Amino acid sequence: MSIPKNVRIKDIARLAGVSVGTVDRVLHNRGRVSEDALQKVTAVMEQIDYRPNLIARTLGSNKSYRIAALIPDPTVDPYWAQSNQGLIQATAEWAQYGIDINLYFFDLFDKESFTKKGQEVFEAKPDGILAAPIFFDEALLLFKLFKKQGIPYVLFNTNIPEVNPLSFIGQNLFQSGRVGAELMHFGLHQGGLLAVLHIDEDIHNSVHLLEKEKGFREYFKEKSKLAFTIQDFNLSPNDTSFKKNFNLLLDDTQLKGIFVSTSNGTSVAASYLENHGKKNIRLIGYDMLNENLNYLKSGVIDFLINQNPKRQVSVGISHLANYLIFKKRPPETELFPLEIITQQNLDSYLGSGIH
């Protein structure tokens, strides 16, 4: 076994009969290199697998980068609070590599606030951007601007393929609906009514919630031999008729299961279900928010599908940082596994450092 002592720029220079400066210029196409020298260097390069020492590169350059993070205000929403946790963790992790993360929080229910904070990001001229572009039209405009400026951005949670982000991080929502359906189906041995609830204060992400519903419906159409009716409800917890409508639904003797498409909605549904006292209704929802975990432990919620907002963010930052420091291109889209959380595996998820 030969020891492939890592090739250095110095080695290439020696082999090509030029100086390290020239090799450096060739490697970074900085020009100012004669045809002759370029030939010699590329010839050597082709024969040798040169992999620059990233450690040395980072140390030398000693640049510092500013990344702007544009997410909904974490103080008013537990889901986005988890994203923010990811940011805090990433800040600590990347500080010593000269990555500085600046936070821009916008109001989850106010499109104008998104645009305003987006403007602020623009004026700050960061070296990279991580964002949850939950308002489609506004985000479209904003990121076309960033594209023109050549500032790289990574999107998470919600994709906007039209603006061609450096990378998108999230989940396959359609498939996520199918997983929900599968879990639901697994526990049922007779037909009946299934409810798909979109409980949200706002309708901005209705398109995405609908994806989950479509997957949920498709699975049942495709797989189930039993007869199920699937009804969907768009509810806002602020609505006055919310309580009435919900209890009406729970009164239906045919009701067998509830699938909630939002993380915050999951615990709302759970609280109603618990108060109503009805047993044997399956409840499947999203995400490891504290309230959800309590209902999972007490058995009101059967399954949670984990979207892992914290890790989405931390991977997003990591992609940006690697791109800025090491010029390493991240995957165009990174779809997270659709993790299934139950009463019994919950602790193992909480305990593992990854979450």
Partner DNA sequence: AATGGTGATGTGCGCGGAAACATAAGGTAG
Partner DNA sequence: CTACCTTATGTTTCCGCGCACATCACCATT
Task: Please tell me whether residue 332 binds a copy of itself under the rule CB under 8 A.
Answer: no
Q: How far is the CB of 322 from DNA (least distance, A)?
A: 14
Considering only the stretches 145-153, 157-165, 243-251, 335-343, report the one whose residues sit in contact with a copy of itself under the rule CB under 8 A.
335-343
Q: How far is the CB of 37 from DNA (least distance, A)?
A: 3
- Helix (H) or strand (E) run with residue 256 in it: strand 255-260
Task: Please tell me whether residue 29 binds DNA under the rule CB under 7 A.
Answer: no
Among 1, 3, 36, 148, binds DNA (CB under 7 A): 36
CB atoms within 10 A of CB 294: 13
Considering only the stretches 30-38, 72-80, 247-255, 314-322, report the one whose residues sit in contact with DNA under the rule CB under 7 A.
30-38
Tell me if 119 sits within 8 A of 143, measured CB to CB.
no
Tell me if 120 sits within 8 A of 100, measured CB to CB.
no
- CA distances in angstroms from 209 to 174, 222, 307, 339, listed in the order given: 9, 20, 13, 18
Q: What is the 3-state secondary structure (H, E, C) of 183-208?
A: HHHHCCCCCEEEEEEEECCCCCCHHH
Task: Please tell me whether residue 44 binds DNA under the rule CB under 7 A.
Answer: no
Task: Please tell me whether residue 175 binds a copy of itself under the rule CB under 8 A.
Answer: yes
Considering only the stretches 57-65, 145-153, 162-170, 275-283, report the one whose residues sit in contact with DNA under the rule CB under 7 A.
57-65
Single out the residue of 204, 207, 212 nearest to residue 266, CA to CA: 212
Quote the CA–CA distance of 30 and 256 in Å, as a whole number: 67
Nearer to a copy of itself, 178 or 204 (CB): 178
Considering only the stretches 26-34, 112-120, 168-176, 193-201, report the one whose residues sit in contact with a copy of itself under the rule CB under 8 A.
168-176
Phi first, then psi: give them for residue 209, nearest 5 degrees.
-65, -35
Q: 201 Cβ partners below 8 Å, 6+ apart?
A: 108, 109, 236, 237, 238
Quote the CA–CA distance of 111 and 60 in Å, as a whole number: 43
24 binds, among DNA, a copy of itself, none (CB under 5 to 8 A by kind): DNA
* Binding positions for a copy of itself, 271-310, rule CB under 8 A: 302
Tell me if 113 sits within 8 A of 107, measured CB to CB.
yes
Among 4, 60, 150, 277, binds DNA (CB under 7 A): 60
Q: How far is the CB of 349 from a copy of itself (least distance, A)?
A: 5
Length of the chain as a residue count: 355
Nearer to DNA, 96 or 190 (CB): 96
Which residues contact DNA (rule: CB under 7 A)?
A: 6, 8-10, 17-22, 24-25, 27-28, 31-34, 36-37, 52-53, 56-57, 59-62
Residues that bind a copy of itself (CB under 8 A): 6, 51, 53-56, 58-59, 95-98, 171-172, 175, 178-179, 181-183, 186-187, 189, 219, 302, 331, 334-340, 342-345, 347-349, 351-355
